[in-house]
Amino acid sequence: MDLYAPITIIIVFTILFALLFIFIFFVVILFFFFVIVFLVLIPWYPLYAFNNRIFQHARFVH
């Protein structure tokens, strides 16, 4: 039991470190995803729709 105790402690700490790393990894991915969505898609989508409406209007007029 004394021989396997450090091995089990190392395994438990590696599992906890892996779970913590995976959790931090998913949090960072979600954070960058929401940053990209709020900084790129939300400001550019009304501008794209506005330009598309102007382009269709100019195409129909001319």
pLDDT of residue 7: 86
The sign of the CA dihedral 53, 56, 57, 58 is positive
**In this predicted model, what pLDDT tens digit does every residue of 4-35 receive, in sequence order?**
778 888 999 999 999 999 999 999 999 999 88
Model pLDDT, residue 46: 67
Instruction: Identify the helix (H) or strand (E) that includes residue 42.
Output: helix 42-61
Q: How much is the average pLDDT of 30-55?
A: 76
Q: What is the pTM (predicted TM-score) of this model?
A: 0.44
| For residue 2, pLDDT beyond 70 | no
